[in-house]
Amino acid sequence: MDQGPSKGLHDVSLMSHDRRLQGRPRLCSDCGLCDSFLRPQMAETCLFVRNRADEIEQRLHGRLRNPGDEMRFGIYREQTIARMRRPVADAQWSGMITTLASRLLERGEVEAVILTGTNPGTRFQPVPVLARTTMEVRACVGNKPSFSPNLGLLDQVREAGIRRLAVVGTSCQVQMLRQAQAQLGLEHLDLIGIPCSDNVTHEDQQFFLATISRSPATVVHYEFMQDFSLWLRHEDGHIERVNYIDFPMDQLQGIFPSACLSCFDYPNALSDITIGYMGAPLGWQWVLARTARGVELLDLLRPDLEVRPVSAAGDRTRGMPRYIQMLAKRPAKPPKLIRQLIAFLQRHRGPRGLEFARAIIEMKLLRNYTHVREKFPQLEARIVPYHVYQSIAPYTQEYAAVFGRAPGERAIADQV
């Protein structure tokens, strides 16, 4: 097993030293676009060259986000908490995405769907898949929690003459597609988004499992749950739980690529429909239908869904000053007794439902904003979108006290 993260603990770089990725900018999430005929358009398309969330929102919705939850979650027409009445076997949650993608093919609404399958002979290694049948969609069920350069399949889409396409993708893939849409030669494109944060390379995903689990070779499914712990299901069905506070971050910090630490779209705000879980109670999924087409996609699923009201509990803002202080320190594990107390408080008094989603989105915005400001200050004006400043504005005082200047305020060195 690897001795550490593939790019080293403190390297501010792409993601790994994989030769395929040579020549890419230091900020790259291997979305796949540069493996396709669109590579020459990288500078006008890549969100790590310029984040165009505001322009895309204007085009899609005719407006920018309203104050409140839209700042954190993105613009949406309908929000629902739901799950499949009959869950799909082996799905990551209840299989809403697999069902929706299959239905689009069955009804002839699209000719193909881009998804992420599993490399044969491995358990979690992703492989981009252009599915033409529901069987092929079904085979892509479940998360493969590392980078999958799915947009590389755009060449195959073009060669096969496909005009009506759906894509299941991470937030960066969705933003690249929105930006490149006019060049794709498609008549119809459905974008089904998954919330995404802290993605890693496959080799670092293996390192993560080996570091976290007592038995990494037998893990068949895992998810970062809303109770502040990671649940790992093993071949024999037993669940191993590891509290977030117990993660050895001093060993793990190097696994996260600079791109994901410079990404500000956890909820996949530019999709037609986002299907995740983080705003829902345990066992349920969180769905945001964003565009008029997104509502139609949700309508396709509705007959199969059990729904419950949206709910929220707790107060995320109480823990945020402490979180901002932690951002300024090197990652370290507190003593065991303190960790036990924190895990108890997070589980029983921590934010739940929508408040949990608000909490982790704001935490990632604060962390990633700090990363960009420290490691890529010259890029801040180009890659940090407007909604970040508005979302973290309530913490301006605490942030300025810890980091010496407020979000958005330029460093003295940058002002001369």
Ligand X SMILES: Cc1cc2nc3c(=O)[nH]c(=O)nc-3n(C[C@H](O)[C@H](O)[C@H](O)COP(=O)(O)OP(=O)(O)OC[C@H]3O[C@@H](n4cnc5c(N)ncnc54)[C@H](O)[C@@H]3O)c2cc1C
C-alpha atoms less than 13 angstroms from C-alpha of 108 in its C-beta half-sphere? 0
298 lies in the site for ligand X, by CB under 6 A:
no
Q: Which residue has the tokens 């200050």?
A: 377
CB 228 within 8 A of CB 347: yes
Cα–Cα dist 325/315, whole Å: 18
| DSSP code of residue 107 | T
Share in percent of the chain as helix, strand, coil (round to 5): 45, 15, 40
Cα–Cα dist 386/23, whole Å: 29
Q: What ranges make up the beta strands (E) of 112-271?
A: 112-118, 126-131, 164-169, 188-193, 219-224, 229-234, 239-243
What residues make contact with ligand SF4 under the rule CB under 6 A? 24-25, 28-31, 33-34, 42, 45-46, 48, 170-172, 176, 196-197, 199, 259-260, 263
C-alpha atoms less than 13 angstroms from C-alpha of 345 in its C-beta half-sphere? 11
Could you say which residues in the range 316-375 bind ligand X, by CB under 6 A?
none
Pick between residue 56 and residue 96 the one whose CB is nearest to ligand X.
Answer: 96
**Residues comprising the chain, all counted:** 416
One of 45, 94, 368, 370 touching ligand X (CB under 6 A)? 94
Pick between residue 199 and residue 346 the one whose CB is nearest to ligand SF4.
Answer: 199
73 lies in the site for ligand X, by CB under 6 A:
no
Name the minimum Å distance from CB 21 to ligand SF4.
8
Name the minimum Å distance from CB 90 to ligand X.
7
Torsional sign, CA 272, 278, 279, 285: positive
Helix (H) or strand (E) holding 78: strand 78-84
Residue 391 binding target from ligand SF4, ligand X, none, CB below 5 to 8 Å by type: none
Residue 88 binding target from ligand X, ligand SF4, none, CB below 5 to 8 Å by type: ligand X
DSSP string, 321-353: HHHHHHHTS---PPPHHHHHHHHHHHHHHS-EE
Could you say which residues in the range 121-150 bind ligand X, by CB under 6 A?
126, 140-146, 148
Stretch that binds ligand X, among 3-11, 23-31, 188-196, 380-388 (CB under 6 A): 188-196
Name the minimum Å distance from CB 316 to ligand SF4.
21
Q: Which residue has the tokens 């669940």?
A: 239
Name the minimum Å distance from CB 226 to ligand X.
9
Residue 29 binding target from ligand X, ligand SF4, none, CB below 5 to 8 Å by type: ligand SF4
| DSSP code of residue 297 | H
Pick between residue 29 and residue 373 the one whose CB is nearest to ligand X.
Answer: 29
CB 373 within 8 A of CB 413: no
One of 175, 197, 206, 368 touching ligand X (CB under 6 A)? 197
Residue 386 binding target from ligand SF4, ligand X, none, CB below 5 to 8 Å by type: none
One of 74, 149, 152, 276 touching ligand X (CB under 6 A)? 276
Name the minimum Å distance from CB 14 to ligand X.
17
Tokens of 164: 């009506």
One of 48, 73, 93, 228 touching ligand X (CB under 6 A)? 93
Q: Interface residues with ligand X (CB under 6 A)?
A: 88, 91-98, 115-116, 126, 140-146, 148, 168-170, 194-197, 199, 224, 275-278, 285
